[in-house]
């Protein structure tokens, strides 16, 4: 591949404006960095105030502190994109929460929190993003799902319900948005070595590393591997993909355990 051709591939999102939720760590952090490296201007949203320090030295990434489960955050973050840059091209709904508890032990507060962040937040941000994208008749929304979009195991009733909702939100919005030139797809991620479990177990990263060995590929993913698929779905290379749930789970969803 010629050098100038390689540079074109690496900067295939030049001038695009993106929002990434859950951007302060893990998959969201990897996505934010990759989209920026491909040429996008990125608004990095997270409820964790550390998002300010993480991106303080990068003029092409604007940190935003917000609770993705609220209408206020969804409206404000989209307003930042449209007011500062005049448009919004890409939304990545990545923020999520999980708790390992059987349903009988789960509180309503925990259920509502998981559903709010992982499903309602996807709806709210997508709704506001579509309002900004429709006038331009173009855009891409990428939702971060899981093999829990389809499969489940004991202890994740709320998370599985939320990811199942995410899959159906993806498909429905894809049908509603495509007439406006906007593509909506999702990534069904497998076990990824992140801090997702750290809110309720100290060995969260180690657990995910070990649990990933159950998959046919015999390992967990690194966040950067998921980010590459997200960048593809957000780009014009995926121009014929509408309403897809792209499984990136090391084969977990196709094997009978």
Question: pLDDT by residue (tens digit) across 189-231?
Answer: 988 988 778 777 778 789 788 888 888 999 999 999 999 999 9
Q: Token pair of 122, please?
A: 């996807």
CA 209/CA 192 separation, integer angstroms: 7
Q: Are 18 and 234 in contact (CB under 8 A)?
A: yes
CB-hemisphere CA count at 13 Å for 154?
3
Residue 155 buriedness (CB in 10 A; 0-12 / 13-18 / 19+): middle
Helical (H) or strand (E) element with 111: helix 108-115
Phi, psi of 54 (to 5 degrees): -60, -40
Q: Provide the pLDDT for residue 257.
A: 61
Q: Provide the pLDDT for residue 6.
A: 46
Q: Domains of the chain (ranges plus CATH)? A: 11-254 (3.40.50.720)
Q: Provide the pLDDT for residue 11.
A: 87
Catalytic residues: 159
Q: Token pair of 196, please?
A: 């997702």
**Averaged pLDDT, groups of 10, the chain, 257 residues long:** 51 96 96 98 97 95 98 98 97 94 97 97 98 98 96 94 98 98 97 82 83 88 96 98 97 82
């Amino acid at each position: 591949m010629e050098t100038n051709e390689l540079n074109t591939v690496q900067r295939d999102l030049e001038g695009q404006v993106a929002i990434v939720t859950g951007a302060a760590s893990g998959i969201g952090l990897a996505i934010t960095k990759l989209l920026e490296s491909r040429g996008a201007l990125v608004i990095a949203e997270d409820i964790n105030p550390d998002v300010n320090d993480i991106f303080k030295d990068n003029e092409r990434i604007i940190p935003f502190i917000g609770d993705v489960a609220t209408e206020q955050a969804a409206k404000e973050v989209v307003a930042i994109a449209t007011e500062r840059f005049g448009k919004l091209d890409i939304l990545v709904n990545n923020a999520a929460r999980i708790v390992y508890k059987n349903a009988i032990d789960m509180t309503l507060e925990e259920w509502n929190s998981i559903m709010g962040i992982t499903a309602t937040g996807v709806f709210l941000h997508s709704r506001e993003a579509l309002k900004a994208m429709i006038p331009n008749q173009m855009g891409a929304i990428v939702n971060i799902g899981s093999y829990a979009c389809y499969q489940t195991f004991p202890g994740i009733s709320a998370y599985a319900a939320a990811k199942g909702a995410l899959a159906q939100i993806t498909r429905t919005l894809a049908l509603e948005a495509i007439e406006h030139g906007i593509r909506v797809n999702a990534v069904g991620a497998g076990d990824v070595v992140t801090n997702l479990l750290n809110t309720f177990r100290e060995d969260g990263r180690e657990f995910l590393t070990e649990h990933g060995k159950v998959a046919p590929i015999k390992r967990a993913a690194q966040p950067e591997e998921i980010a590459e698929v997200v960048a593809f779905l957000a780009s014009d290379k995926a121009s014929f993909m509408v309403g897809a749930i792209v499984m990136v789970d090391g084969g977990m969803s196709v094997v009978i355990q």
